[in-house]
Amino acid sequence: MYSIGELSRRTGVKVPTIRYYESIGLIASCGRSAGNQRRFDRQGIDRLAFIRHARALGFPLDAIRALLDLSDDPETPCAEADRIAAEQLADTRARIARLERLAAELERIATGCASDRAGGCNVLQALADHRHCAGPH
């Protein structure tokens, strides 16, 4: 059995985050010690590692909950897990596209300045007046 502090050290997940995951039902302790400390078993470590990995991949908590539910029943077809992962991939690609547009706009305004004074600064003008921006905002 592991304390919440040991669970945190073993998984790299902060104690307040573990408490939050427990409060929303993503992870459950195996009970409490005589000193009223939460106790977790190896399954708790594995489940928290699963959650941490899914969060690192950007999955929202609702998707993680659905994936954990699927994981809890090994006989369930994996089509739903595939659908959830495909949706996350599409969301990630959309975010990347937005970030690439943002980077291009930032590069344009940061390198387009021909003035050495704030009054003629392209960056300040672009931020103050969207007509100077290349993309929609």
Residues 82-131 have pLDDT tens digits of 999 999 999 999 999 999 999 998 888 888 777 777 777 878 877 887 66
Please answer whether residues 55 and 64 qualify as being in contact, where contact means their C-beta atoms are separated by less than 8 angstroms.
yes
Q: Which of 76, 81, 78 lies closest to 54, judged by CA?
A: 81
Mean of pLDDT over the chain: 88
pLDDT in tens, 20-78: 999 999 998 777 777 777 888 899 899 999 999 999 999 999 999 999 999 999 899 99
Q: What is the pLDDT of residue 99?
A: 96
Residue 105: per-residue pLDDT = 86
Question: In a 3-state reduction of DSSP, which class is residue 112?
Answer: coil
Q: What token pair was written down for 131?
A: 């007509």
Whether the Cβ atoms of residue 4 and residue 18 lie closer than 8 Å to each other: yes
Which residue type, as a one-letter code, is found at position 27?
I
pLDDT exceeds 70 at position 136: no
pLDDT of residue 135: 57
Contact 13, 6 (CB under 8 A): no
- What's the pTM? 0.77
